[in-house]
Amino acid sequence: MPRLRILSVLLGLACLPACDNRPVVDRSGGVCSEGLVSLKVEVVTAEGVRVKGATITATNEETLESITGITNEQGFSRAVNETLAPGVTRLYATAGSKVSPATQVEWVCDDCHCEPTPDTVTLQLNP
């Protein structure tokens, strides 16, 4: 009887790692990916030249939570992500004394993730 009890405990412990690594499943039976959905943001000058090192600020209009990101060598950032969802997020960019007009993105969520509409934004700095 003690051997059976030990065997039961060992089998139970062997199953624990499988529980830690299982995929998250949505209600429709599909598998959700683990990564966050992000918005592609490009910052350009008034002449259309991409801006490296511009600061992008995104704020959820309802919760007032925000994310700040910096554009890379090619003038893009993917710092704005679905952690600001759901709802409307207002974005603008700054580079030195230049500021872009604000634009809005709406995040729509399903059982797994939230998607931005539009999924790419170009912010143009004032002249």
Tokens encoding 56? 């992008």
Q: What is the pLDDT of residues 10-40, one digit of tens each?
A: 445 444 444 443 333 334 455 788 899 999 9
Structure confidence at residue 1 as a pLDDT band (50, 70, 90): low
Q: For the whole model, what pTM was predicted?
A: 0.74
Q: Which domains does the chain have, with CATH numbers?
A: 40-124 (2.60.40.1120)
CB–CB of 55/93 below 8 Å? yes
Cα separation, 31 vs 23, in Å, equals 7
Q: What is the pLDDT of residues 50-107, one digit of tens each?
A: 999 999 999 999 999 999 999 999 999 999 999 999 999 999 999 999 999 999 999 9
